[in-house]
């Protein structure tokens, strides 16, 4: 069993069992620094379970619960309802789950929380596969990416979580990336001040599952922003706001070459992915102009 002789200041321990090059701990540290000690966490099984741990092995100092893979939003909604009954309008309830626990098995739970506008902050850290259980493909795995369940490359595009969230008319939703921490922190701060169901979708590349050197995580995430594979945006009060337009929109050549999961991609597939990224961004531009 792990033991700690000293506990550093802040809500996250200095000893984390995540893979080298993983940035989930950076997400946790920044989120909890902003949300503060008056926060309750909900964490499902998965990579983020490294933080909930077991007893003294927990890596966070705020109260929390580890539920099932599919019910993080439901648990968070129940906690928020309990606080409301007690007259507690100050404690923040934050669920932090991966893409598999969000866009796949947990989507129904999240949809219900969004429809009811439960007073929770739901954060999806997206590494685009079930990394904790063996790199199986998820609904967030992009077109042509190789996983253990799509060894020849995924034949279809990923779900668009932001579009799904916006269809529920939540008061606030945003996408962010570990490649731009000032932007991420700004969006967390904004979400903290808003009541109701708020959703943050954060890209968190996985060196183990994506196949790149552990020191290249931020570089890979930055390249995804530059070519439009990951779009930084906000949805607030029914309005869409885009970040800076990608400088290399649709050009995935460098991005694919940085990752082993795309090593079998054909030129035709690269072109198809590039066209999809351009079309998606142009669609978002039209939404932002409304």
**Domains delineated in the chain:** 24-289 (3.40.50.970)
Work out the number of other CB atoms within 10 angstroms of the CB of residue 89.
9
164-191 pLDDT, tens digit per residue, is 999 999 999 999 999 999 999 999 999 9
Q: How many CA atoms does the CB half-sphere of 273 hold within 13 Å? A: 27
* 6-39 pLDDT per residue, tens: 555 677 777 677 888 999 999 999 999 999 999 9
DSSP state of 157: P
- Please write the tens of the pLDDT for every residue from 55-97: 566 778 888 899 999 999 999 999 999 999 999 999 999 999 9
The phi and psi torsions of 81 (rounded to 5 degrees) equal -65, -40
Q: Whole-prediction pTM value?
A: 0.94
Strand partners, 42: 65, 95
What is the pLDDT, as a whole number, of residue 1? Answer: 43
Cβ atoms of 120 and 93 within 8 Å: the answer is yes
Strands 39-43 and 64-66 turn out to be: parallel
In angstroms, the CA 159 to CA 6 distance is: 43
Q: Name the residue with tokens 């995540």.
A: 18
Provide the 3-class DSSP secondary structure of residue 198: strand
Residue 51: which residues within 8 A CB-CB, separation 6 or more?
A: 12, 16, 24, 25, 28, 41, 43, 58, 59, 60, 64
If you search the block for the tokens 């809500």, which residue do you land on? 11
CA–CA dist 137, 184 (Å, integer): 26
């Amino acid at each position: 069993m792990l033991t700690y002789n000293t506990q550093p200041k802040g809500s996250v321990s200095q000893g984390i069992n995540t893979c080298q090059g993983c940035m989930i701990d950076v997400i946790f540290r920044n989120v909890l620094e902003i949300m503060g000690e008056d926060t309750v966490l909900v964490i499902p099984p998965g990579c983020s379970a490294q933080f909930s741990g077991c007893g003294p092995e927990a890596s966070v100092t705020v109260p929390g619960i580890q539920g099932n893979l599919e019910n993080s939003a439901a648990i968070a909604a129940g906690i928020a309802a309990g606080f409301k009954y007690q007259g507690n309008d100050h404690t923040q309830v934050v669920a932090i789950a991966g893409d598999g626990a969000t866009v796949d098995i947990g989507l129904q739970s999240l949809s219900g929380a969004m429809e009811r506008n439960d007073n929770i902050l739901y954060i999806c850290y997206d590494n685009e596969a079930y990394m904790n259980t063996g790199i199986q493909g998820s609904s967030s795995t992009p077109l042509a990416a190789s996983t253990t369940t799509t060894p020849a490359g995924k034949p279809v595009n990923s779900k668009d979580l932001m579009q799904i969230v916006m269809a529920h008319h939540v008061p606030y939703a945003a996408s962010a990336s570990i490649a731009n921490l000032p932007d991420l922190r700004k969006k967390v701060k904004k979400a903290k001040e808003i009541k109701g169901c708020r959703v943050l979708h954060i890209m968190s590349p996985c060196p183990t599952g994506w196949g790149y050197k552990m020191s290249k995580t931020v570089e890979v995430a930055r390249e995804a922003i530059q070519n439009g594979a990951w779009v930084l945006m906000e949805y607030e009060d029914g309005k869409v706001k885009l970040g800076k337009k990608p400088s290399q929109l649709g050009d995935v050549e460098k991005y694919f070459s940085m990752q082993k999961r795309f090593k079998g991609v054909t030129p035709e597939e690269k072109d198809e992915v590039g066209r999809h990224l351009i079309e998606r961004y142009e669609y978002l531009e039209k939404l932002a102009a409304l």
